[in-house]
Amino acid sequence: MLRLWRAVRTAIALLLVSLAFLPALAPAVAHTATPSSTGQMVRVHPDGMPPLDIYVEEMGRGPTILFLHGLGGSSYSWRLIAPRLATTHRVVAVDLRGFGRSDKPFDRAYSSIDHAAVVRAFIRQAKLSRITLVGHSYGGMVALRLALDRRLEPHRISRLVLMATPAFPQAFSAGVDFLRKPVLPYLALLLVPPELTATLALMMESVGMNRFSERDVSIYAGPLSDPGGPHALIETALQIVPDDLPHIMARYPTITKPTLAVWCRQDEVVPLSTGERLVRTLPKARLAVVEGCNHMPAEQAPVAVANEIRRFLAR
């Protein structure tokens, strides 16, 4: 009972801290773009899992680029980059299982294996081939797992773009560390309004809210109001480190697909040293270091990131 009371007090304290940051929601910046109207729900049938609906957005024509967002993100996370690349490519962005507008089952199937199974099913059902697979942060780990997946035909993925991907053991960020605590995250997500939770999360990952508008915060917060939204976020955080990570790391040198690693120089969540180690490990990888951003390059430096991807695809 004492432990529960301490958890409740901590959750209330978090609420008060969140309220203190409420004024940060006010400044809107012209950095925000209107979400695409090309979205649709797609029923997928992952191997060994019940069917579920995932949300997919698509624009442009040409070779396919498939975007996978990070923890707490969605297809909306790519809104500033997708239109720039859609002038020459078919750009597809999915909401991972449990995130964005996708289904959020109350189960434990939120490991990178499970997320990869859902994306694999979508790739097959959509008959995608020779795609450039782009993953940010946790989405990058899902992308790496797909690149190593022997059940996914080799012609499906031709290139990889990995942004701020925690490919090696490291300390948890403050946000992930909090989500992995017992009881407390559920209490906090119940007591703290979703918009304030999203505000704190964006502040921690971007080191400042000046680049996000109220609309941005509202869209990032939306899934936390959905049944299963908090559960999906917490369960994914609990399984964010794969049980087979040493085995996965040992197989990195077998990934021979051309790979671009994109890192912010000031990333405090997944340090630049991780990107440097990753390009030393992958046989055909190169590193692009982006200035003026932290852990969210697609949000904070979309022009620079889009240009790096465009140059990579032109090689």
pLDDT digits (tens, 9 = 90+) for 204-214: 777 665 578 88
User: What are the sequence ranges of the domains in the chain?
Assistant: 2-314
**C-alpha 158: how far from its chain's center?**
21
Q: What are the structure tokens assigned to 177, written together?
A: 């560390």
Please state, as a whole number, how many other Cβ atoms lie within 10 Å of the Cβ of residue 219. Answer: 18
Q: Do 144 and 255 contact (CB within 8 A), yes or no? A: yes
Burial class (CB in 10 A: 0-12, 13-18, 19+), 119: buried
Q: Do 284 and 258 contact (CB within 8 A), yes or no? A: yes
Q: Enter the pTM of the model.
A: 0.89
pLDDT digits (tens, 9 = 90+) for 89-122: 999 999 999 999 999 999 999 999 999 999 999 9
Looking at domain 2-314, does it have CATH number 3.30.300.30? no
Q: Which helix (H) or strand (E) holds 69?
A: none
Per-residue confidence in pLDDT tens, the chain, 315 aa? 444 444 444 444 444 334 333 333 333 333 334 334 489 999 999 999 999 999 999 999 999 999 999 999 999 999 999 999 999 999 999 999 999 999 999 999 999 999 999 999 999 999 999 999 999 999 999 999 999 999 999 999 999 999 999 999 999 998 999 999 999 999 999 899 999 999 888 887 776 655 788 899 999 999 999 999 999 999 999 999 999 999 999 999 999 999 999 999 999 999 999 999 999 999 999 999 999 999 999 999 999 999 999 999 998
Q: Which of 79, 147, 92 is nearest to 116 (CA)?
A: 147
Rounded Cα gap, residues 278 and 238, in angstroms: 24
Contacts (Cβ under 8 Å, ≥6 apart) of 237: 71, 176, 179, 180, 185
pLDDT at 3: 46
Q: Do 75 and 67 contact (CB within 8 A), yes or no? A: yes
The region, left, alpha or beta by phi > 0 then psi within -120 to 50, assigned to residue 13 is alpha
Which segments of the chain does DSSP mark as H helices, in order? 2-20, 82-85, 112-125, 138-147, 174-179, 184-191, 194-206, 214-221, 229-238, 245-251, 272-281, 297-300, 302-314
Q: Which of 182, 183, 215, 180 is nearest to 199 (CA)?
A: 215
Q: Which helix (H) or strand (E) holds 268?
A: none
Q: What are the structure tokens assigned to 55, written together?
A: 């949300």
